[in-house]
C-alpha cells in the first residue's frame, strides 16, 4: 500500500470554485492520513478559503497559478496558451510524477485535451476513455467511453473493454466483471456497423468476461458491470440518466407537495425515500476518470460541491493504493516496471 498519495486539485475549476473545492480537499485530507493535496489556483483566494479550516498543514500545499481556463474557451487553444492556468499546472504535476492523480471540476474539453497531450497515454492505449460509474439497482456499473472519443473504431472499443475491466476489478472488488456492449437488441446480428464489427472482437478477447449485448433499458438494472460504447452514445446514456432521474424526482416532489394530504404523506415517507434514493446519486462514486493515462485524471461536474471533490479525491486514493494503472498496463502486455 502506498504510504502517501499525492493529488493535484484544480482549485479554480467549476461553478463553486474555489470555496467548495477547498472545503472538499480539506475534508478529504482530514478523512485519510495518507492523502496529500496540492491546491492549484490563485494563491490569495485559496489561502483565504483555507484559513476557515483546521487541517494537517503538511498535507495541504498551495501552488500558485495565475490563470484560469473558462468553460467556454476552445479547449486546445486554452491548454496550449494558458500555461499558468490551474488545470494545466495540475496536468504537469501528474506528468512530472509529483502527483499520482488530479481532480478538476473545470472545462471538460480542456481536461480531455490536457490528459492526452500533457499527461499522455499508457503505452499501447490508443484513446483514453472517460469512464464514470453510474448507479444501478444492484450497485453500479462503469460506462465507457462516455464522451472522450466520438466515432471510435472497433479496436478502440475493445481497448475500452479491457481498461474498464481492469478498473472495475479493483475499484468495485469484482473478480470477473461482466462486460457488455450497448446494443439495440440482444442478438449478435443486431446493431449498427460499429457494434457488428466490434462484437466478434470482444468475443475473442480472452482478458475480459464478455457477456454480449446490453440494451440501454437494462443498464439501470445492473445488466453488466462494465458497459462499452462509442462516446456519443455513452454521453447520451449518461445525460439521459441524469435528465430522466432529475425530471422524475422533481415530479415526485411536486406531487408530494400538491395537497395537504400528500404533504403529510411526504413527511412520513421522506426518511425512507432519502435512504433509498441516495443509491441513484451519480456523484457518490466520485467523478469521471479519464482512464489509460499515465496517472489518474478525474473530472467532476462543473456544479460540484465539496462532497463531490472529497469523493473524487478518495477515488484517486483508491486508484493509487491499488496500483490500478499497473493492471491496465498488464492488459496491454506491458511490463509494469516501465
Give contact residues for a copy of itself (rule: CB under 8 A).
136-137, 147, 150-151, 182, 184, 191-193, 195, 215-221, 230-233, 235-252, 254-256, 258-259, 261-262, 264-273, 275-277, 279-280
Report the distance separating Cα 32 and Cα 181, nearest Å.
37
Q: Which CB sits closer to a copy of itself, 207 or 215?
A: 215
* CB of 303 vs a copy of itself, minimal distance in Å: 12
* CB of 274 vs a copy of itself, minimal distance in Å: 8
* CB of 244 vs a copy of itself, minimal distance in Å: 4
How far is residue 153 CA from its own chain's centroid? 22
DSSP per-residue letters across 227-283: EE--HHHHHHHHHHHHHHHHHHHHHHHHHHTSSHHHHHHHHHHHHHHHHHHGGG-TT
* CB of 115 vs a copy of itself, minimal distance in Å: 17
Q: Which CB sits closer to a copy of itself, 21 or 214?
A: 214
Q: Under a CB-based contact definition with an 8 Å cutoff, are residues 325 and 294 in contact? A: yes
* CB of 333 vs a copy of itself, minimal distance in Å: 31
CB neighbourhood size of 194 (10 A) = 18
Report the distance separating Cα 91 and Cα 56, nearest Å.
24
Q: Which CB sits closer to a copy of itself, 168 or 229?
A: 229
Give 150's contacts (C-beta < 8 A, 6+ positions apart).
Answer: 230, 231, 232
Residue labelled with grid coordinates 394530504? 261
* CB of 187 vs a copy of itself, minimal distance in Å: 9
Closest CA to 308 of 287, 278, 281: 287
* CB of 217 vs a copy of itself, minimal distance in Å: 4
* CB of 70 vs a copy of itself, minimal distance in Å: 14
Q: Which CB sits closer to a copy of itself, 117 or 249?
A: 249
CB neighbourhood size of 253 (10 A) = 12
Cell, residue 14: 467549476
* CB of 77 vs a copy of itself, minimal distance in Å: 13
Q: Which CB sits closer to a copy of itself, 37 or 219?
A: 219
Query: For the sheet containing 139-144, what is the strand order?
Result: 133-136, 139-144, 226-228, 178-183, 209-215
Q: Which CB sits closer to a copy of itself, 308 or 310?
A: 308
Burial of 54: CB neighbours in 10 Å, binned 0-12, 13-18, 19+ = exposed
Report the distance separating Cα 318 and Cα 30, nearest Å.
16
Give the CA dihedral 43, 49, 52, 56, nearest 10 degrees: -50
Closest CA to 133 of 291, 263, 3, 15: 291
Q: Which CB sits closer to a copy of itself, 266 or 334?
A: 266
Amino acid at each position: 500500500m502506498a504510504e502517501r498519495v499525492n493529488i493535484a486539485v484544480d482549485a479554480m475549476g467549476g461553478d463553486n470554485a474555489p470555496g467548495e473545492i477547498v472545503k472538499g480537499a480539506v475534508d478529504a485530507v482530514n478523512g485519510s492520513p495518507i492523502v496529500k493535496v496540492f491546491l492549484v489556483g490563485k494563491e490569495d483566494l485559496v489561502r483565504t478559503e483555507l484559513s476557515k479550516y483546521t487541517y494537517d498543514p503538511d498535507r495541504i500545499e498551495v501552488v500558485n497559478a495565475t490563470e484560469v481556463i473558462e468553460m467556454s474557451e476552445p479547449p486546445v487553444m486554452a491548454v496550449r496558451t494558458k500555461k499558468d492556468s490551474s488545470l494545466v499546472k495540475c496536468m504537469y504535476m501528474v506528468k512530472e510524477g509529483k502527483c499520482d492523480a488530479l481532480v478538476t471540476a473545470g472545462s471538460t474539453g480542456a481536461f480531455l485535451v490536457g490528459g492526452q497531450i500533457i499527461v499522455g497515454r499508457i503505452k499501447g492505449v490508443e484513446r483514453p476513455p472517460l469512464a464514470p460509474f453510474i448507479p444501478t439497482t444492484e450497485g453500479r456499473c462503469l460506462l465507457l467511453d462516455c464522451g472522450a472519443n466520438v466515432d471510435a473504431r472497433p479496436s478502440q472499443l475493445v481497448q475500452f473493454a479491457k481498461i474498464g475491466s481492469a478498473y472495475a476489478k479493483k475499484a468495485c472488488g469484482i473478480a470477473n466483471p461482466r462486460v457488455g456492449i450497448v446494443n439495440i437488441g440482444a442478438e449478435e446480428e443486431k446493431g449498427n456497423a460499429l457494434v457488428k464489427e466490434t462484437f466478434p472482437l470482444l468475443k475473442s478477447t480472452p482478458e475480459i468476461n464478455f457477456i454480449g449485448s446490453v440494451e440501454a433499458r437494462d443498464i439501470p438494472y445492473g445488466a453488466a458491470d462494465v458497459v462499452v460504447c462509442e462516446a456519443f452514445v455513452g454521453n447520451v446514456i449518461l445525460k439521459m440518466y441524469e435528465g430522466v432521474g432529475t425530471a422524475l424526482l422533481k415530479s415526485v416532489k411536486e406531487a408530494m407537495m400538491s395537497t395537504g394530504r400528500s404533504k403529510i404523506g411526504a413527511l412520513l415517507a421522506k426518511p425512507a425515500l432519502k435512504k433509498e434514493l441516495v443509491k441513484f446519486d451519480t456523484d457518490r462514486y466520485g467523478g469521471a476518470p479519464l482512464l489509460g493515462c499515465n496517472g489518474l485524471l478525474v473530472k467532476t461536474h462543473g456544479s460540484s460541491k465539496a462532497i463531490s471533490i472529497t469523493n473524487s479525491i478518495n477515488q484517486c486514493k483508491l486508484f493509487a493504493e491499488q496500483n490500478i494503472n499497473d493492471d491496465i498496463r498488464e492488459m496491454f502486455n506491458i511490463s509494469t516496471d516501465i
